[in-house]
Amino acid sequence: MEYSRTPYQQSAALLRALSHPVRLSLLNVLCEEEQCVCHLTALVGKRQAYISQQLAELRRVGVVTMRKEGLRVYYRVTDARVRVILKSLETPRGAQRPAHGCECPKCADKGG
């Protein structure tokens, strides 16, 4: 029998998801605007499969959502609590762009 998670269980799941440095980095970028997986991969400098695993965990707890456009997969933050938490942590903010390796439409438009 399935039971509803209490608010405390939901909060604990959110905090567990945020307790990983790569996931925090991804969320920091996604708080600015929606990003494609290839952009996030180039930005963080990890393999695409690893980034996808981290994004899957963030989706599982309901803080990000994805959409597909052709072959590209885009993610965005859907939980306002994430923005509040990251702001309170005083993490560096601002749009980031990978030095190289990203061929997403955003970087291609900027010569990246």
Percent of the chain's residues with pLDDT above 70: 83
Question: Which band of pLDDT confidence, cut at 50, 70 and 90, is reported for residue 96?
Answer: low
Structure tokens that stand for 44 in this block? 């963080």
Q: What is the CA radius of gyration of the chain?
A: 15
Residue 39 neighbours by CB under 8 Å, 6+ apart: 98, 102, 104, 106, 107
Determine, yes or no, domain membership for 36. Answer: yes
Whether residue 1 lies inside any domain: the answer is: no
Residue 2: the pLDDT is 46
Whether the pLDDT of residue 104 is over 80: the answer is: no
pLDDT band at 106 (very low <50, low <70, confident <90, very high): confident
C-alpha 96/C-alpha 56 separation (Å) is 22
What is this structure's pTM?
Answer: 0.82
Q: Which domain holds residue 38?
A: 10-89+96-109
Residue with tokens 């905090």: 15
Q: Is the dihedral of CA 78, 84, 88, 91 positive or negative?
A: positive
Q: What's the CATH number where 25 sits?
A: 1.10.10.10
Q: For 15-49, how does the pLDDT look when each residue is reduced to its tens digit (9 = 90+)? A: 999 999 999 999 999 999 999 999 999 988 899 99
d(CA 56, CA 37): 11
Q: Would you say residue 28 lies in a domain?
A: yes
In a domain, 2, yes or no: no
Count of domains observed in the chain: 1
Please check whether residue 5 lies inside any domain of the structure. no
